[in-house]
A and B are shown apart, each in its own frame.
Chain A
């Protein structure tokens, strides 16, 4: 198994929103997508995944509907809503600002 980092508190929502922004996907698919895109570095703690998904649905950022999975099973698909898209944009900007600032601090020669 790859060495991986637990997703930082607070960034899970952002990652889920981003993963769901491409097309509608079920929970397991979202966790796999995050792992794949991060090349195995980011591993979504599965114990937090579903609470997060439901939280986002409740806040109106995601929309959930029952559909059929690629292997023909009933699965719950999550899709980004318009509000979710706006939230994704603003959280992305915030993250960039934050990570840039952290980079800058770390880049300072001591």
Chain B
């Protein structure tokens, strides 16, 4: 069947009145019967009534006939759907509240799910992605199981292991593309020659690296990513074969990668072949600088590969003294990519799920109320012969319709929500776009249907369990189920309250953690300092490289508006280098310590406003490179001894080491939250082999644009072909380091606010309903002398009691749920008493506020009116 035909049938299905034929036939019958009665002498109008009576009730009749006629369920469904729409229109306020509640709740879930879908559920863009693993070194004290890999290790691993069909390494590069006015710094990777073959990536155009590129030092090939090819060359179809003027060396484009290609989320413009000689002391097994990937042989498990690799690594560690004690680890690549976001996402999904659950409870409560109000309608329909199943299914169709409308709107909410998320999320954590694809739509549909069942089944069963005579006699004011309904509703509201408290406690804890993080003193002054990275032209080596940086710093500092300039091998809070070192002059000086190190130029501490406690800064002109150590390092290495004048050696054979000339106050180096660690600030002169590309830190007056312009102008005086990139204010870096906690606390806060709102609506509903039910009782009380204030208190106490029970259950729940967010907390205990007390009190206050209106209504009941009945 074509789409059109299907659509047509659907339309006919919805439009055709199945009762039309039937009504014609029955109408004919009535006409004939009435005519016959008239002929027998009955007056015309009486004859008609009599004929109708004999046929016995039109409606019930068509219902029964439909039962007989078959195709009943479909007809019934159609009828129910139309009836449900009619009901929805008849109670617009009710429908609006229900649909809005579900739209927000389903939307929240769907938004988080769409993130999970795009982050956790997408497979790597390689064939057999489950075979791709990361290979990591493991340092002796096992503090970091994901250490970078040395080229020498990689070669030995590749040769000696048997679990892998191939291995490859890559490292980030920052080539500069010349040929236009402004040199452009690119994001590159240098890969081992068979890297793409190992991954199973095929070129979209041209070819990827082959045998002729086996030696990185001589390979002139460059491969472009699809994005770079489109951006920079407007998808030029003749790109293959073109020469590109890279700084220091022209390269020939041999191919373009497919659009799907991605590694670990880093932006990539170009790929070249890795040249081992670009790493100093590359033959040294301890030179951990590369990222290694491997492909498992078919049928080899992760555990087998791990065992294989560890055995090989153990042999190597025994052979080479500079990696004594080192081991290796294998992780699945897909797991590694999502490792940091998986936990937070699942917790947020659980939080969104709680919101949906609370929304469901609220809607179920509303439906129960309405089912009670519709008791008379239900009883009438039963009296007219509708079976209970028929009524249940009709009520279920009604709740399904509401849930589906809520679901459709929820998708809209989710689409807005994901856009907001993308704006708030820390850079690099989420993909650039989060599509609402078939899987997300399926999730929203499933959530809606599950919701409709959860909210619909209890009211439907309860609402149709009626004892006819009683309901009709009561005038439909109370359905028979209503004797129990309040208890169920109370249980539901208590559940709602407790779930809301769980979210409240969690979000309050996370928010306080964020507040504490933001009040951390990083040990430096971030305002008015800007960072920009620089990749010096390859023509600068050794002494000329030092001269380049020295001149650049001096020229930039000479610009107007610039107060202070220095350079370091990593921006503030982004330090990642750890190098092995030995303390000279200790009784046992041989033991290697792995410590954080930052290479700096003179003036770094002044620019960052870090306090130099003793000694002096590193200098350009000192006879040998010098060191400055952090307070923590001094205490850790030498205890209370004066660190000035001590020596630290790097490398196996060095017995003299470099002299410590200064002691600087602790500063945060690995994000705002990580505690200050032992840091060795080494003069850049000693660290040439470790870092070619440094980051300037520039303190100046005026806005960012003018300071950056001054820095660019200063740098251009030294070298025209050196671009500045990764330009950021230090304030932004500080902000970014708490972006994830900020996002977590924002989302949890939103969820908790929604939950609290829904729960207070729930309390309001239950208390209002109870006031309506007890109007007569209240009237009697007042007639017997109760004052308005007594009644007011009575009703208020009812709300408070619900909240109190909810709070107690919620505290129990929260004390377990906070385990999930323990790793998000900073400076606050997950069982923090103040938080628990304050949030519980807040919950009770809110529910008292929600009970206030119905309590006032109860207090203003006129006893005479109330006792008279309605």
Contact = CB atoms under 8 A, between A and B. Distances in A.
Same complex:
yes
B69 A27 contact: no
Contact of B28 (A28, A47, A51, A58): A28
Contacts of B31: 73
A75 B69 contact: no
Nearest to A69: B28
B641 interface: no
B28 A75 contact: yes
Contact of A47 (B33, B61, B69): B61
Given A54-B65, A54-B69, A76 B56 contact: no
B68 A46 contact: no
A10 B64 CA distance: 18
A32 B54 CA distance: 13
A34 to B, nearest CB: 14
Interface residues of A, number: 17
A79 B87 CA distance: 42
Interface in B513-570: none
Interface in B22-59: 24-26, 28-29, 31-33, 36, 54-56
Interface in B463-506: none
Nearest to B55: A46
A55 interface: yes
Interface in A31-73: 32, 46-47, 50-51, 54-55, 58, 69, 73
B237 interface: no
A58 B55 contact: no
Contacts of A74: 24, 28
B54 A46 contact: yes
A50 B65 contact: yes
Interface string B46-84: 000000001110000100110011100000000000000
Given A32-B36, A58-B69, A58-B70, A50 B28 contact: no
A57 to B, nearest CB: 9
A73 B28 contact: yes
Contact of B55 (A26, A47, A55, A69): A47
Counting chain B residues whose Cβ lies within 8 A of the other chain, the interface size class is: 10 to 19
B69 to A, nearest CB: 5
B interface, by DSSP: helix, strand, loop or mixed? helix
A92 B64 CA distance: 28
Contact of A28 (B21, B32, B56): B32
Contacts of A55: 68
Contacts of A51: 64-65, 68
Contacts of B70: 58
Contacts of A26: 25, 28-29
A28 B65 contact: no
Contacts of B21: 76
B34 to A, nearest CB: 10
A76 B25 contact: yes
A3 to B, nearest CB: 16
A96 to B, nearest CB: 28
B25 A75 contact: yes
A58 B55 CA distance: 21
Nearest to A57: B69
A50 B24 CA distance: 13
Contacts of B24: 74, 76
Nearest to A76: B25
B162 to A, nearest CB: 73
A32 B25 CA distance: 16
A29 B65 CA distance: 19
Nearest to A54: B68
A26 B61 CA distance: 18
B29 A27 contact: yes
B26 A50 contact: yes
Contacts of A50: 25-26, 29, 61, 65
B72 to A, nearest CB: 11
Contacts of A28: 28-29, 32-33
A34 B64 CA distance: 23
B529 to A, nearest CB: 86
Contacts of B56: 46-47
B355 to A, nearest CB: 50
Contacts of A73: 28, 31
Contacts of B32: 28-29, 69
Nearest to B25: A76
26 contacts: A26-B25, A27-B28, A27-B29, A28-B28, A28-B33, A29-B32, A32-B36, A46-B29, A46-B33, A46-B54, A46-B55, A47-B55, A47-B61, A50-B26, A50-B29, A51-B65, A51-B68, A54-B69, A58-B69, A69-B28, A73-B28, A73-B31, A74-B28, A75-B25, A76-B25, A76-B28
Listed from nearest, the 4 A-B pairs whose CB atoms lie closest are A47-B56, A28-B32, A28-B29, A54-B68
Given A51-B65, A54-B69, A76-B25, 13 more contacts: A27-B25, A28-B28, A46-B29, A46-B55, A46-B56, A47-B56, A50-B25, A50-B26, A50-B29, A50-B65, A58-B69, A73-B31, A74-B28
